[in-house]
Every structure is written in structure tokens, then in C-alpha cells.
Amino acid sequence: MVWKQYFILFKFICKILKKNAMKNNKIIKKTIGLFLLVNTFFGCVKDQDFSTPIVDCVEPEITATSTIQQVKDMYTFGGATVIDTDVIIEGYVVSSDKSGNIYKTLSIQDKPENPTSAIKISIDETNMYTKYDVGRKIYVKLKGLAVGYSFGSVQIGQAVGGELARISAFEVKNHLFRSCEVAEIIPKKVAISDLNETMLEMLIEIENVQFKTTDLGLPYANVEDTETVNRVLENFNSNCNLVDEVIIRNSGFSKFKNQLLPEGKGSVVAVFGNFYDDFQLYLRDTDDVKFTEERCDYSNALTPTITLLEVRYLYEGTMVEFGVSNNYVVEGYVVSSDEDGNFKEKLVIQDAIENPTVGIQILIENDAIFQNYNVGDKVFVKLDKLYMTKNDGILTVGFPNGNKTSKIDASEISRFIYNSGENFKIIPTDILISEVLNANYENTLVSILNVQLVENELGKSFAFFTGDDDGTRTIETCGETTKVSVFTNGDATFSNELFPEGHGKITGVLSGDLELRSIEDVQFTSDFEACPIIIPKIMITEVADPKNDVSARFVELYNAGDSDINLTGWKLNKYANGATIVSSSPVELSGIVIPSGGFVIISNTGYATIFNDSPDIESTYISGNGDDVYELVDNTGITIDIFGVIGEDGNGTNWEYEDGRAIRNLAILEPNTIFTVSEWTIYSATSNSLITNPNSPQNAPVDFNPRIR
């Protein structure tokens, strides 16, 4: 094609010569000079792409003395290892910084195809692609350089202060030498599940991948800043089942950062890297992303391997670690929404759209969860690498944080929670207030029927009329002793609104308290009803510390009222040795209904044998040795009765019961939120003149009378 351009240009110049034929020779000379210049230019190129002219290459007279792997094996942990011998390696360049996504590093591998080892070279230089193009064979003289550990991988650089640093731009020419050989690099095809440390810095290709659905519509990196961003690639099998995923790390300085992620499915070629234990891919350019197929649908992508109910049963009182290779995938339906400000940084899912058997809450670092997970969305949760325990009595999934779980980092959410794209109408379960403490309703969407605000809270807001403090309101059903707290986040759009004063039903998620999604969840369509006051008369009537058997210690509760009382949600707290905070894991009384005039025995493990009586609850928590406080609280956390003084060690006090017991006097027929020693008769083996019966050790079973008043 060049000769045609040459001919057209020649005709043009001839016209100029003809036009200026009558003018001075100076113009003619300039025109001829222009012609010769153009002729020279066109003669230097082979085609219209104006490629760089071929320059003769002289192969450096260098021979490799070691392999890349041998050099990597030189490294010993503890700092940069300086190489002081004539070690030379060779390798083929697989990285490129042309697009700006790879910065001041050069990745080489030992073979153009099927490599066995690769390594990263850290160099304080940019635009290296102009000298070390992809496929270029290079030699690296390592004498004077160092091998070290940086961000989880072995690299080549310079030792500075015992640590690995970049090779100075002024030193590069003394260590890196270009070969004339430029080979075609054939990416190593590999599955995500097969990625391992031996492949770091190799050029790899992963097939059947697509960007995560929640990433679609986003650019490769942030448009408004230069921060590096993680995007997630998901790997599927031939049946469109999701099998694995890996991070693509995109620089905020890359030339393609503003481009939107492609929406199809296909293959990706990239340099394989890591950040400590997390594997990552680094694109050289978006040409390495070849998505030519239709995406896989999440509804087929993930297959649940465990039910939510089975997940709940995994919890046996201590934190559950789901592991890394169990492939736990659970399916659920979203019932929470933070659109109006409640459910801050937590997502609640249940196992069915109607009549669920179980639900669970997941903590995530996101202040607009509803944008990705709406009420009714079917989601899949990959539980591997997550943890589960009870936070404030509620089963919760997230990252570990001491003996609790905490939020999944914002950048990690998409690795664990997948939105199927399907949405269903969630039917709340209609229940009565007497059922709210049933464990089967925990973390599920319910509508509590026939309720209203308690009378002394009428005229109050959901939280507070001003400010942004969190708040709770209490609802009740006339004739029932159980009450429910309704929680409202101070940032909720309705937190300063008046709580409705009528009577009807209220819908929300039961997680200890009832948490609403919006103000529309309160449907009070009838007038307020004045309720008769019911005060539970559950008393602590005996605290036992038998001298002859510490395992037979027990606490006795008695119902002095006229109504049966459901103790679900109630707890027996212990304050040991003068403590002001409750000892861990108080005794939960859920599931126990204590009839009028009835007893509940909460004992240590030896009670049943020595007293020939089965306790209602058996727990080593009952270990009071004469100086510990016991406190009975209801399902709202209000103190109902107490024995002992919180913050006071009982030794030497007027309530010491060491090797003895404390009996509630028969004349006392109501609980007391303030400990009053005159209500008790106390026995102890100690010589304590402050108590009723000092020097009076009590032995089981003869000196005790459980379940008798």
C-alpha cells in the first residue's frame, strides 16, 4: 500500500514544481528537498503502521549459572540475603507496565511455556516495557543484589538496612541484560483451586470466569481517586456451578481504570501474585480479558451444601470455625433492610420465604446493604473462612474478634455473600407475645399480634424526639407477663417520630429485641387498651453450699404469685468474689414455665446423685462458695430478685454462707430488687457473728430441703 501513497505524494509535488516553475530556483530547491525527505521516510518503513526499524542485535556473552528456583531457595527468613558470588539467572519477561497497572516490578519465568519457576524483580524504574518487552529473554547478574521476602513472596532487589528495597535505576544496567531472543509466552492454564505459591509471578490463564455480579457496572478501579481496588473473578464449571473465586488487583494509576468491567464470561490472562496469604491477579492490559460467552446465572451457580438449621446446630456453646475446605454453602432469604437506618451493618437471612425454621444474622461493613441485598432476595453465603458465635445471646456470623464475631470487611463481602438475582415476597410468621422467646423465631421475620405500647411509654418517640441516640420501647399484650423491647437505631429515619399509640400488630426481626425495617412495620389499627398490671413473683428462696460436697451446690427459685410464669429469656446471674460485672455465661432459663407455687432447681453436677432429685437445670455455673451474689433477671434484663450485695465479697459480711446455706424466711412472699438480709436465715461453718447461725456447717442431704417451703 505504501507505493500508492508514494505515487499520490509524487503527483502533488509535481504540481508544486509546475506552479513555481517561473519563480526563483530557491523555492524549487526547497521543494526537491522536501521530496527527498519524504522519500527517505517512506523508504524506512515496511507498511503503513510505521513500525520501529529493525536494529541488529548482539547477543550478550553471558551464561546462566543457576535457575530461578535455586535463587529462590537461597532466601532464609529474617531479612534480605545479599548475594556476593557470581550468580546469574535467565528468564523470560511476562509482565508489562505499559498500562500502568504493574508498577516498578518485572516478573520473569524460566520457560516461555510450561514454566517451573518464576520470580519478581523490584526495580526503581518505570516504562520498563520499552526495554524489557513481554517474551524478552533477559539475564540477571545477582552479585551485589539481594533475595528477600516482601508482602509474602520471595523477590529480587537491593538490601537496604537489612531489608529488601528496589534496585536503583542507576544500577539496573549493571545487572539486567537483554537477550536478542523474544519468545511467544504461552500462559499456563490453571484452575483457581490449583493456584499455589510455586506459581507466583508466572503468566497464567484461567478459563470460565466472570466478574462477580455485585461488581458489574463498576470500573476496573475508582474513577475519582488513585486507590488500588480489588475486583472478584468467579470460576464456574461446565454446568455453571460456581467452584471458586480469586481477586483481580487493579491500580488507581492504570490507564484502563475508568473502563467498565465486561459483563460476559470467558478467560483471563494475568500475572499471578499475592499479598501474604491472599492470591491476586495483575492484568497487563484489558486485552488479557476475553469474555465472549454469556454469563452464568447465580441461581444455578451455587449449590447449597448445608442448611441454616444444620448451621445453627453446629454451635455448641463455643465459637464455630467453619474452616477453609469444608465448602459450606448455605441458602437464605433476606428479611432485614437498612434503607431506613435500622439493621446497621448487619444482614439477616432465614431459611424460607414463609414459615421458616431458623434465621441467622451476618455482620458486614456496609452502610447501604439494601442496595445489594433487598428484602426477599435469595442469597448464598459461603461460610468457609468465617466464624459463628453468640453476640449478646444472638447467633451471629462474621470475622473473629476475641470471643465474639465482628463485621466482614467491606472489600471481602462479595467473596462470601452472593445475590442470586431472584426476589420473593416474604410472609412474616404471625405469633403471640407469649411465643417471642421461642428460639425457633430468633433472627426471623415475625408479626406479633394483639400488642401495644406499655402505658407508661405512651407519647414517646421510637428512640428520642431529638438527637441520634439509640432507643427502645416496650410492647405488651394485656394479661401476659412477657413483654418485648422494640429497638430503634438513633440514625433511623423514624427514630424521632412518635411511636403509634393504638393497638394491633408489629412486624420485625426477632434478635433479642424486635427490630423494625421501617415505620410501616407498626400497624396499630385499634384503640389502646388499659391493661391490669401483672407482677411476676419469682423469688430466690434458697442458696446452698454443702460442706460435704461442693458439686451439690444449688439455687432454688419459687413462684409466689397466682399465675404461671414463662421464664424464657430470664437469667440467673452470678457475681463472684466482689465483682461488679456478671460472670460469663449466666444460666439461661428459657423453656421453663414455673407454675404458681412451684419450684425451679438450678444446680451443679452432683446434686441429682446426693439429693435423689433431678434439677431443672444442671450447670457448673452454680459454684457459689459462700461469698458470691446471685441475681435473677427477666427477659428484658430487669432485676427481679437478688441474694447478696453486688461489688461486695461475702466473706465476713452479714450474708456469708460458706459451707452452709441461706433460706428465705417464710413470711417473705415477694421478690426484692434490693438485698435485705433480714429476709433471710443464714447458716455457715465460719465463726461470723454477723450472720444468723455461725459455726453451723450444713451437710447434704440431711440439712437441706429443696422444693419445700
pLDDT of 22 strictly over 50: no
Same domain, 543 and 679: yes
Same domain, 385 and 350: yes
Same domain, 351 and 441: no
Same domain, 440 and 516: yes
Residue 531 included in any domain: no
Task: For residues 159-165, give the mean pLDDT.
Answer: 91
Domain end among 149, 182, 215: 182
Same domain, 76 and 169: yes
Task: For residues 510-521, give the mean pLDDT.
Answer: 94
Same domain, 120 and 156: yes
Residue 709 included in any domain: no
CA–CA separation, 106 and 98 (whole Å): 12
CB contact at 8 A, 39 and 5: no
Percentage of residues of the chain with pLDDT beyond 90: 75
272-281 residue pLDDT tens: 999 888 899 9
Dihedral sign (CA 590, 596, 598, 602): positive
Among the listed residues 172, 197, 203, the one whose alpha carbon sits nearest the alpha carbon of residue 92: 203
pLDDT at 300: 67
pLDDT at 175: 97
Same domain, 327 and 273: no
Residue 613 included in any domain: yes
pLDDT at 301: 66
pLDDT at 33: 47
Same domain, 405 and 489: no
Same domain, 560 and 672: yes
When comparing pLDDT for 377 and 243, which is higher? 377
pLDDT at 78: 67
Q: Which domain holds residue 495?
A: 429-526
Task: For residues 205-231, give the mean pLDDT.
Answer: 92
Q: Please, which residues have CB within 8 angstroms of residue 547's CB and are 6 or more apart in sequence?
A: 659, 660, 685, 697, 698, 699
Residue 175 included in any domain: yes
CB contact at 8 A, 400 and 386: no
CB contact at 8 A, 364 and 214: no
CATH at residue 442: 2.40.50
pLDDT of 26 strictly over 80: no
Residue 704 included in any domain: no
386-420 residue pLDDT tens: 999 999 889 999 999 999 999 999 878 988 998 88
Count the domains in the chain. 6
pTM for the predicted model, two decimal places = 0.59
Same domain, 166 and 30: no
Q: Which of 323-327, 428-432, 489-493 has the lowest mean pLDDT?
A: 323-327
Task: For residues 69-74, give the mean pLDDT.
Answer: 91
CATH at residue 654: 2.60.40.1260
Domain end among 182, 215, 233: 182
pLDDT at 2: 42
pLDDT at 12: 47
pLDDT at 76: 67
CA–CA separation, 448 and 434 (whole Å): 9
Residue 507 included in any domain: yes
Domain end among 423, 439, 455: 423
Same domain, 254 and 145: no
- 556 - beta bridge partners? 542, 601
CA–CA separation, 664 and 676 (whole Å): 10
Residue 626 included in any domain: yes
DSSP state of 698: -
557-580 residue pLDDT tens: 999 998 888 887 799 999 999 999
pLDDT at 230: 93
**Sheet-wide strand order for 571-575:** 587-588, 571-575, 629-633, 639-643
Residue 696 included in any domain: no
Strands (DSSP E) along 531-654, which ranges? 538-544, 554-559, 565-566, 571-575, 587-588, 593-594, 599-603, 617-618, 629-633, 639-643
Among the listed residues 451, 427, 428, the one whose alpha carbon sits nearest the alpha carbon of residue 528: 451
Same domain, 201 and 289: yes
pLDDT at 55: 54
455-490 residue pLDDT tens: 989 999 999 999 999 999 999 999 888 889 899 999
